[in-house]
């Protein structure tokens, strides 16, 4: 039973309420006992003081003096007064305000039954032997019993209130929890049914449930992006690999017909296909963050300078010009090999898709929270309609379809940037076109 209660919010709140109730009961019992004992001690003290005063009367006038004092107190008695009993050695009453109903023993007696007129009661008594008799002073416990009943009623009310509040809180918390979880469940059921556009509603309270909803929504956004990416990859592979596969089949048919040169052409086609699949696999690995463990602090300024020095001879040999504007001491958390691959793809694109005479600039700028690396050129650029899809797999601008390549270079660049927690975007102006990689500092 307890194991089941611990597994639900309602059960947990009920158990907490029960714990508070037990604590209230324990505190009430202790408070009741302490209060009760204090009141009994107060009655004992009152009886002892009165007995001491009457003993002074006995020393001066003997039993007769005590009897006179008792009669005087009887005549002046009210509801708050003490009761008295003075008896001789034979047990005969000399003076009294009560008649005892239980035997009287010397010393303190916590529960002495007595009768006062037509009323019966219980008192707290002190019996003191005197020369020739015994004096009994009695304090009625009626007020003490009334206080005990009041305390018991208060603690019972507090216990009942605690239980009621606990059960009410359990019902309310359980209802609120089920209501919030039902939204998550509804969204999950919609996702299972295939509607990947559904998201968990948020109330903007920044509560635990609201933060959980935000986390789940980010997860769903990531899943939706991966699913879109998977669909795109499936479509692109089916579409863009059809042509090289058709060429390979044609070359194999020619080879089967006895064309010796077709074997070498088929081999080139096969190498081309292997290159495509290797690039696709590399993009998938980066997008899956398989390289995340290799991230470390690297000197980005030194990496950019190295890449510029490495490619400057190739630019000059092809009639291009490469300049660099790189501040010193730029550092990021990343994988040097992956970042070098991204920069290499961008530089290769300039060499491959721009005419001789084109000037390219590799620059880096630092902001408060990011470092931006941009490679811009003054070449012909791309049509705005093509620019929207250049980061997709197998996407190529119309003007680049006659050049070598498979349209996977910029897709890998963006995958590397996203894998480092940043992004890659196209940067265009009136005189330049390029790509900017944004990396968090």
Indicate if the pLDDT at residue 291 is higher than 50.
no
Which band of pLDDT confidence, cut at 50, 70 and 90, is reported for residue 385? low
DSSP state of 327: -
| Residue of 237, 226, 228, 337 lying closest to 277 (CA atoms) | 237
Which band of pLDDT confidence, cut at 50, 70 and 90, is reported for residue 389? low
Task: Output the pLDDT for position 388.
Answer: 63
Indicate if the pLDDT at residue 276 is higher than 70.
no
pLDDT, mean over the chain: 80
Task: Output the pLDDT for position 395.
Answer: 57
Which band of pLDDT confidence, cut at 50, 70 and 90, is reported for residue 292? low
Indicate if the pLDDT at residue 237 is higher than 70.
no
Task: Output the pLDDT for position 305.
Answer: 92
- Higher-pLDDT residue of 408 and 403 is 408
The distance between the two most distant Cα atoms of the chain, rounded to a whole number of Å, is: 153
Are 67 and 96 contacting, i.e. CB atoms less than 8 angstroms apart?
Answer: no
Are 375 and 347 contacting, i.e. CB atoms less than 8 angstroms apart?
Answer: yes
Which band of pLDDT confidence, cut at 50, 70 and 90, is reported for residue 401? very low
Task: Output the pLDDT for position 384.
Answer: 62
Indicate if the pLDDT at residue 256 is higher than 50.
yes
Task: Output the pLDDT for position 254.
Answer: 73
- Higher-pLDDT residue of 262 and 116 is 116
Task: In whole angstroms, give the CA distance from residue 99 to residue 433.
Answer: 117
Which of the residue ranges 6-15, 77-86, 299-308 has the most confident prediction, judged by mean pLDDT? 299-308
Indicate if the pLDDT at residue 341 is higher than 60.
yes
Task: In whole angstroms, give the CA distance from residue 339 to residue 320.
Answer: 23
Indicate if the pLDDT at residue 369 is higher than 70.
yes
Indicate if the pLDDT at residue 72 is higher than 50.
yes
Which of the residue ranges 140-144, 207-211, 362-366 has the most confident prediction, judged by mean pLDDT? 362-366
Which band of pLDDT confidence, cut at 50, 70 and 90, is reported for residue 402? very low
Task: Output the pLDDT for position 302.
Answer: 92
- pLDDT tens-digit profile of 98-147? 888 888 888 888 888 988 888 888 988 999 898 888 899 998 888 888 88
Task: In whole angstroms, give the CA distance from residue 245 to residue 251.
Answer: 10
Task: Output the pLDDT for position 282.
Answer: 67
Which band of pLDDT confidence, cut at 50, 70 and 90, is reported for residue 432? low
Find the helix packing angle between 261-287 and 208-240, rounded to 10°: 180
Which band of pLDDT confidence, cut at 50, 70 and 90, is reported for residue 410? confident
When mean pLDDT is compared across 133-147, 176-190, 197-211, 266-280, the lowest value belongs to 266-280
- pLDDT tens-digit profile of 27-48? 888 888 888 888 888 888 988 9
When mean pLDDT is compared across 8-12, 97-101, 127-131, 409-413, the lowest value belongs to 8-12
Percentage above 90 pLDDT, the chain: 6
Task: Output the pLDDT for position 309.
Answer: 92
Mean pLDDT of 151-163: 84
Indicate if the pLDDT at residue 382 is higher than 80.
no
**Beta carbons within 10 angstroms of residue 195's beta carbon:** 10
- Say how far residue 262 (Cα) sits from the centre of its chain: 65
Report residue 16 as tokens: 């907490």
- Which residue in the block uniquely carries the two structure tokens 């963050």? 289
pTM of the model: 0.47
Mean pLDDT of 350-359: 87
Pairing of strands 359-366, 321-325: parallel
Are 291 and 404 contacting, i.e. CB atoms less than 8 angstroms apart?
Answer: no
Mean pLDDT of 397-416: 64
- Say how far residue 172 (Cα) sits from the centre of its chain: 20
């Amino acid at each position: 039973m307890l194991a089941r209660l611990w597994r639900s919010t309602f059960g947990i709140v009920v158990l907490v309420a029960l714990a508070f109730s037990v604590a209230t009961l324990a505190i009430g019992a202790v408070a009741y006992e302490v209060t009760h004992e204090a009141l009994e001690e107060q009655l004992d003290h009152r009886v002892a003081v009165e007995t001491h005063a009457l003993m002074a009367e006995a020393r001066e006038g003997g039993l007769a003096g005590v009897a006179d004092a008792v009669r005087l107190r009887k005549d002046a008695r009210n509801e708050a007064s003490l009761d008295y009993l003075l008896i001789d050695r034979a047990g005969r009453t000399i003076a009294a305000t009560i008649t005892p109903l239980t035997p009287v023993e010397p010393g303190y007696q916590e529960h002495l039954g007595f009768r006062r007129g037509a009323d019966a009661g219980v008192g707290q008594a002190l019996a003191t032997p005197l020369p020739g008799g015994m004096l009994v002073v009695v304090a009625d416990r009626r007020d003490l019993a009334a206080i005990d009943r009041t305390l018991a009623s208060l603690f019972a009310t507090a216990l009942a209130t605690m239980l009621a509040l606990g059960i009410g809180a359990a019902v309310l918390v359980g209802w609120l929890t089920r209501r919030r979880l039902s939204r998550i469940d509804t969204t999950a059921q919609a996702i299972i049914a295939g509607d990947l556009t559904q998201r968990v509603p948020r109330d903007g309270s920044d509560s635990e449930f609201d933060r959980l909803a935000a986390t789940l929504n980010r997860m769903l956004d990531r899943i939706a992006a991966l699913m879109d990416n998977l669909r795109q990859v499936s479509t692109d592979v089916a579409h863009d690999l059809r042509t090289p596969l058709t060429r390979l089949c044609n070359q194999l048919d020619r080879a089967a017909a006895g064309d010796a040169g077709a074997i070498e052409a088929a081999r080139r086609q096969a190498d081309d296909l292997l290159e495509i699949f290797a690039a696709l696999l590399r993009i998938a690995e980066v997008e899956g963050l398989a390289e995340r463990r290799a991230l470390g602090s690297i000197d980005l300024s030194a990496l950019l300078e190295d890449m510029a020095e490495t490619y400057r001879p190739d630019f000059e040999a092809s009639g291009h010009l490469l300049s660099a504007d790189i501040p010193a001491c730029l550092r990021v958390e990343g994988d040097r090999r992956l970042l070098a691959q991204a920069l290499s793809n961008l530089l290769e694109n300039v060499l491959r898709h721009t005419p001789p005479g084109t000037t390219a600039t590799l620059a880096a700028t630092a902001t408060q929270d990011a470092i931006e690396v941009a490679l811009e050129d003054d070449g012909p650029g791309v049509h705005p309609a093509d620019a929207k899809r250049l980061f997709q797999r197998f996407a190529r601008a119309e003007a680049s379809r006659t050049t070598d390549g498979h349209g996977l270079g910029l897709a890998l660049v963006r995958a590397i940037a996203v894998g480092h927690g940043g992004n890659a975007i196209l940067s265009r102006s009136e005189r330049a076109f390029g790509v900017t990689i944004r990396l968090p500092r």
